[in-house]
Each structure stands twice: as structure tokens, then as C-alpha cells.
Structure 1
Amino acid sequence: MFYGKNLQLVRMLHGLSRKELGERLDVTEQSIWQFEKQMTEPSLENVFQLKSILQVKSAFFFEQPTITQTFPENNVAYRKADVVSRKKTNSEVVYLNVVAEIISYLEGFLNVPSTTLIALRKKVIALLPSELTNVTIDKVATLAREFLNIQPDNSNLLLALEKSGIHILEKNVGGKADAYSAWSTKDVPIIVLGIKKSAVRRNFDLAHELGHLLLHAHVDFSTLEKRERAQIEKEADYFASCFLLPVQTVKREFEGIKKISNPDSYIPLKLKYHVSIQALEMRAYKLGFLTAKQHSYFYRQISLNNYKMEEPLDREIVLKRPGKIRSIFRLILSNHVTDLQSIEEHFQIERSLLEEMFSIESDFFIPYEKQNNFTDFNNILRPNFNA
């Protein structure tokens, strides 16, 4: 039996509309709708074409749907997205649910440490008043920085967040959003980063999304009006600024800048703290080191120097990529707990789709292509898998 829900799920996972998929399949949009609603079944030729286009195995379409909906639409917090279309949101929610299912399956082979971010979130909730203020946000940022043991130069930010239990992924988010985050109904936190960002802008995205996870864990984002969404984004921005640039650390730095409204004056601090020139100046402005006139002049210089899209040192500071998912794959496959083919067969998907979902290089899985020996375990693996 052909299951139309599976077709709809993998279509949305790829971010394709019915019209777009129909064009690739050389059928009408109405035909795709009928396939998904199980009003008609695609021909065998169509199934083989769908398999190729959507990077799944033929059996994928003929098995009962199994993906658990652990990430509801209203939990997703987008970065810099004033209005996110329902279609776009639904596509990303499907992505979250699919990757969460795969990660849960892989972690089932391991003794996974508890998510310490939950303990941090509980501490934050105890601090939060009924209405957030900048003073409270600053306190939360300070608490979070100490709890996560962030180094003074922010160089361990990505690693610290992954160690706290956050699954950090990267993909072409598209639209207006730079990144987004969410808590699942099982208290699993995920941050999805956009690609083509500099290392320092990625740091701000990470801190911003951490702000959402801690400050807005129980917000229903689907019901927010434009003004409310803007306020929540403002709060997450302020959290990121306080988190990356603690006042007690940067106050003396700002006091030492002679030309406070000159963007180039912030280059040494950018290198020292791995934070963008614009974020540094905004922090200085909010702390009262610049007047409104100087702040305006600064941004005129940003435009004149073409720094808005690319700043000095953007290419020199190394971009760090999420590593936890790769490590999980490597640990499981190198210890022969399971093999690549078994993972593909379990989800009835092709390796290319795994690579795409987790932004894994095409040569990563090559060493594990022909493994089928289930031996050689170490103490991080679950005891019941020992031979």
C-alpha cells in the first residue's frame, strides 16, 4: 500500500511545494495532491522517479508512517524573521522531527549524558519575573555564561553548547531567518544554524538562540503578533550581547578606545572576543559609551566601508562547525555497533539524504561502506549491546 503521508513528509523535508515536485516528476500539482491524499497511486515509474528525486528507498513509500511529532510548529523560534510563512515553518518542523528521530535512534546505542541545559533552564525560570527587563536578562546571561563555563574569548561557545545537550545542526535555512531553535515535547533542545555566515556572526546566532531556549522556552510563537515577535527578538539580541560581552569584561576595553565611532577601532576586540564589529559597537552604545550622533556616524562608516556584509577578519577567523552528530556516527560505525546499510534500511532513506540533513561531507561515510562486523565496543556504549 502506498502511504501518501510519507510522500508529503519527505517532500516537505526537501522544502518542495506540490507544484515544484510535480514539475520535477512531470505531473500536475493536482496529481501530487492526489498521491498524498491516497486518492490515486503513482505508477511504478513515478515511484522510481520519486525515490531518486527525494533520496529515499522505494520501500519508504510503502511502510506505515513512523516519525513522531516531537517538535510542534508553535515551539520554533526563528532568528530575524518578522513574518515566517506557514509553509516555510511547516517544512522546518518536518526537518526537526525527522532529524530528532534519527538522532534518538543513534543515541539509543550509547550511554548519553543528561542534558545539563535543562538544569540551567530551571535556574533561569526561578530568576524570571512576570515581565522581562534588561537587568533580568543581564543576570540570566551572566548565570548562563558561568554555568556553561564559556571561555573569556568565547572560543569554546559551540562546543560548550553541544556538551550541554543541545543538538546543533546547520543547513540552508532560507527565507528571512538566519537560524532557529526549539525545545521538543521530550525536552530535547535543537539549534539550526544557517550557512554562509562568518564565525563571529555564527557566535551571535548561537547566543541569540540560547537566549530563546532559556528565556522563551514556553512561548507559543505561532500566536505572537508582529510587535510581540519583535520584542522577543529584541530580548534574545540583548541576551546575546550580554552573554558574549559581559559588562565587567568589556567596560575597560571600551574606555580604552580613542575613536569610539570608528568601526576600525573595534578590530582588535573582534579578534579578542570573536564578536562582530557591529555587535561590539552596539554593546558599547547600549552601555553609554557612544552618543546617538556617534552611533549614527558609526553606521554611516559601516556602509561607506562595505562592512555591512563582510567585515575585516571575517575570512581570517576560522568558522567552527557542529561536531557532535559526526562524532556519534563515527563512534557507532567505527565500533561496529551497527553499519551504514542498517541505518539506511531502518529509515528507508539514502545516504545522500543523511549527508544533506546533517551537512556531512560526501566522503565522511566512505570508510564505513562495507562494514558488517558488530564487535569492538568501549564503555560509552550501552552494556546490552556487548557480545
Structure 2
Amino acid sequence: MFYGKNLQVVRMLHGLSRKELGERLNVSEQSIWQFEKQATTPSFENILEMKKIFQVKTAFFFEEFIVPKTFSEGSVAYRKGDITSRKKTNSEVVYLNVIAEVIRYLESFLNAPPRVILTLREKVSGYLNEELTYEKIEVIAEKAREFLAIQENNANLLVSLEKSGIHVLEKNVGGKADAYSAWSTEEVPIIVLGIKKSSVRRNFDLAHELGHLLLHPHLDFLSMEKQEQQQIESEADYFASCFLLPREEVKKDFAIMRKCSNPDSYIPLKVKYNVSIQALEMKAYKLGFLTAKQHSYFYRQIALKKYKREEPLDKEIALKRPGKIRSIFQLILSNRLLDIQDIEEHFKMERGLIEDMLSIEKTFFTPYVDEEVFTSLDNVLRPNFHFAQ
């Protein structure tokens, strides 16, 4: 029996519309709709082509693929403008639900550490009971920074978030969004990062999304008016600024700068804090180290120097990539709890799709294919298990 729902899931997982898939199969959009509603069954040739397009096994279309709906459309907090795009939101929610099921399956073989991010969320929840002011946001950011033991240079930010229990992924987000985040119905937090960012801008995205997870854990983002959307984005931006650039520390640095309106003056601080020049200047402006006129001059210089897209040192500061999912795979595969073929068969997916979903490089699984020598199981299921970094 052909399962049309499976086709709909994998189509949306790849971000294709019915019209786009129809064009690739040389059939009408209406035909794709009929396939998905099981009004008609695609030809054998179409099934083979879809197998190739979606990187799944033929059996994927003939065995029910149940994906628990642990993320909803309203739970996804987008950066920038894509919160209003229903089509994009639906596609990303399918991605989140499939990814959540893959992670749940993998973690079922391990005694994973507790998600201490839940403890942090509980610690700051008292500040959310009444009106959320910027003063409260700054206090929450300071407590979060201390709780997560973030280094002065923010270099351990990504690792700390992953250790706290947040699953951090990266993919081509597309559209206007830079990144997004969400809590699942099972209280599992996920942050999805775009792939075309510098290391310092990625740090701001991580802090911004952490802000959403802590400040806006149960909001229905799709039901919000535009003004409300702008307000929560402003709150997450302010959280990120306070989290990455603690007030008292940066005031000392700004106080000895010779010219706060010159973008190049911030380069040493960019190295010190791993934060962009523009984020540093905005912090200085908010703290009163620049006038409105100097602030405007700064951005004219940003445009003149063409720093809007690429700043000095963007290419020199190494980009950190999420590592927890890779560590889970390494533990499972190297200790022979599963092999990669088991994972492919369980989800009826080809390895390429698994790699694409998790942004894992094509060579990652090579050592685990037909490997005969595996390490000991001694360290896998201990209560004090920690993810390798």
C-alpha cells in the first residue's frame, strides 16, 4: 500500500511545493495532491524518481512512517521576517518533528545527561510572571550567563548550550530568517542555525535564540500581531546583547576607546568577546558612549567600508559547528550499539538524507562502514556519561 502521507512528509522535509515536485516528475500539481491523499497511486517510474529525489528507500513509501507531532507551528520562534510565512513554517515544523524522532531514537540507546536548561528556565521563570521589562531581561541574561559558565570571550557558548540539553542544528534556513528555535511538547529545546554566518554573528544568533527559549517558552508566535512580533524580537535582541556583553565589563573597555564612532576601533573588542563590530557599537550606543549623530556616522562608515556583510576578521575567527549530534553518532557506532545500516533501515532513509538533515559531512560515516574493530562498551551507559566535545 502506498502511503501518501509519507510523500507529503518527505516533500515538506525537502521544502518542495506540490507544484515544484510535479515539475520534477513531469506530472501536474493536482497529481501530487492525489498521490498524497491516496486518491491515486504514482507509477513505478515516479516512485523510483521520488526515491532518488528524496534520498529514501523504496520501502519508505509503502510502510507507515509515524512522526509524532512534538513541535507545532506556533511554537517556532523565527528571527526576522519569516514568522509570517505559513508555508515556510509548516516545512520547518516537519523538519523539527522528523529530527526530533531521529534524536529520540538515537538517545534511546544512551543514558544521556539531564537537560539542565530546564533548571535554568525554572530559575528565571519568576521574572516572567508580571510585565517583562528590559531591566528584568538584563538580570535574566546575567543569571543565564553565570549558570551556563560562559567564558569572558564567549568561546564556549555553543558547547555550553549543547551540554545544557539544547539540541543545536544547522541547515540552509532560507528565506529571511537567520535562525529559529522552539520547545517541543516533551520540553526538548532545539535551535536551528543558518549556515551562511560568520562565527561572531552565529554567537549572536545563539544568544538571541536562547533568549527566546527562556523569555518566551510558551508563546504562540503565529497568533501574534506584527507589533507583538517586533516586541519579542526586540526582547530577544536585548537579551543577546546583555548575555554576550555584560554591562560592567564592556563599560570599562568603551571608556578607554579613543573613537567609538570608528568601526575599526572595535576590532580588538571583537577578538576579546567574539561579537561583531556592529553589535559592540550598538551596545556602546545604548550605554551612552556615542551620541545619535556619532551613531549615524558609525553606520555611514560601515557602509563605506563595506562591513555590512563582512567585517574584519570574519574569515580568521574559526566557525564553531554543533558537535553533540556527531558525538551521539560516534558513541553509538563506535561501540556497535547500532551500525549505520540499522539507522538507515529503521527510518527507510538513505545515508545522504540523514547527512543532509543533520548537516553532517559526507566523510563522517566512512569509518563506520564495514568496520571490524570497535571500541569497548565500558563507557557508554554509565550514569556520569558526558558528550564528547
Instruction: Report the TM-score when normalising by structure 1.
Output: 0.97
The residue number in structure 2 matching 1:52 is: 52
Change (3 A) 1:82 1:230: farther
Tell me if structure 1 keeps the 8 A contact 2:334–2:375: no
Deviation string, structure 1 residues 13-60 (Cα, Å, up to 9, x no partner):
000000111111111111100000000001111111111111100111
Q: Which residue in 1 is equivalent to 2:76?
A: 76
Deviation at 1:378, TM superposition (A): 2.4
- Displacement of 1:373 in angstroms is 8.5
Aligned twin of 1:13: 13
1:204 matched to 2:196 = no
- Could you give the per-residue CA deviations for residues 128-148 of structure 1, whole angstroms, max 9, x where no partner exists? 242111100000000000000
Q: How does 1:5-44 map to 2 (within 5 A)?
A: 5-44=5-44
1:315 to 2:315 alignment: yes
User: What whole-Å deviation, never above 9, does each CA across 1:172-197 have from its counterpart, x for those lacking one?
Assistant: 00001000000000000000000110
Change in Cα spacing, 1:373 to 1:67, as seen in structure 2 (3 Å) is: farther
Q: CA deviation at 1:381?
A: 2.6
Amino acid corresponding to residue 3 of structure 1 in structure 2: Y
1:375 to partner: Cα distance: 8.0
Structure 1 29/333 Cα, relative in aligned 2: closer, same or farther at 3 Å?
same
- The answer to whether 1:100 aligns with 2:100 is yes
Which residue number in structure 2 is paired with residue 86 of structure 1? Answer: 86
Output the amino acid matched with 1:101. E
Aligned to 2:258: 258
| Partner SS state of residue 181, structure 1 | strand
Q: Do residues 245 (structure 1) and 245 (structure 2) align?
A: yes
Task: Provide the C-alpha distance between the structure 2 equivalents of 1:221 and 1:300, rounded to a whole number of angstroms.
Answer: 34
Q: Matched residues in 2 for 1:298 and 1:375: separation?
A: 56
Q: How big is the shift at 1:127?
A: 2.2
Deviations 1:82-108 (A, max 9, x none): 653111000000000001100010000
Q: How many residues align?
A: 383
Which letter does structure 2 place at the counterpart of 1:297?
Y
Letter in 1 for 2:266: Y
Corresponding residue for residue 3 of structure 2? 3
Gaps spanning 5+ residues in structure 2: where? 384-389
Identity of aligned residues (%): 71
Matched, 1:298 2:298: yes
Report the Cα distance in structure 2 between the residues aligned to 1:375 and 1:62, rounded to whole angstroms.
37
CA contact (8 A) 2:84 2:222 kept: no
C-alpha offsets along residues 187-225 of structure 1, whole Å, 9 cap, x if unaligned? 000000001100000000000000000000011101011
SS in structure 2 of the partner of residue 162 of structure 1: helix
Equivalent position of 2:387 in the other structure: none
Q: Which residue does 1:221 correspond to in 2?
A: 221
CA distance in 2, matches of 1:59, 1:370: 23
Root mean square deviation, CA, Å: 1.3
The aligned residue for residue 347 of structure 1 is 347
Deviations 1:140-164 (Å, cap 9, x if unpaired)? 0000000000000000000000000
CA distance in 2, matches of 1:326, 1:311: 30
Partner SS, residue 24 of structure 2: helix
SS at match of 1:81: helix
Tell me by how many angstroms 1:376 deviates.
3.2
Corresponding position: 1:125 with 2:116: no
Where do residues 105-120 of structure 1 align in structure 2 (5 Å cutoff)?
105-120=105-120
Q: Which amino acid aligns with 2:155?
A: S
Tell whether the 8 Å contact from 2:77 to 2:83 is kept in structure 1 after alignment: no
3-state SS of paired residue (2:191)? strand
The answer to whether the 8 Å contact 1:48/1:58 transfers is yes
C-alpha separation in 2, matches of 1:44 and 1:315:
48
Q: Is the CA contact (8 Å cut-off) linking 1:344 and 1:351 kept in structure 2?
A: yes
The question of whether the paired residues in 1 share the 8 Å contact of 2:332 and 2:338 is answered with yes
Q: Distance in 2 between matches of 1:153 and 1:295?
A: 25
1:331/1:81 CA distance change after superposition, 3 Å:
same
The question of whether the paired residues in 2 share the 8 Å contact of 1:82 and 1:230 is answered with: no
**Cα distance in structure 2, aligned partners of 1:309 and 1:171:** 19
Q: Which residue of 1 aligns with 2:386?
A: none
Residue 136 (str. 1) matches residue 140 (str. 2):
no
SS in 1 for 2:182: strand
Other-structure match for 2:231: 231
Letter in 2 for 1:2: F
Please state whether the residue corresponding to 1:341 is helix, strand or coil.
Answer: helix
- Paired residues of 1:337 and 1:375 also in contact (CA < 8 A): no
Q: CA deviation at 1:382?
A: 7.3
1:129, 1:331 → 2: CA distance? 41
For 1:64 and 1:98, the matched residues in 2 are separated by 14
Q: Which amino acid aligns with 1:138?
A: E
Tell me how far apart the structure 2 counterparts of residues 140 and 177 of structure 1 sit (CA, whole Å): 25
Structure 1 residue ranges without an equivalent (≥5): none
Provide the rounded CA distance (Å) in 2 between the counterparts of 1:167 and 1:125. Answer: 21
What CA distance in whole angstroms lies between the structure 2 residues aligned with 1:131 and 1:316?
42
Offset of residue 369 of structure 1? 1.5
2:127 is aligned with what amino acid?
L
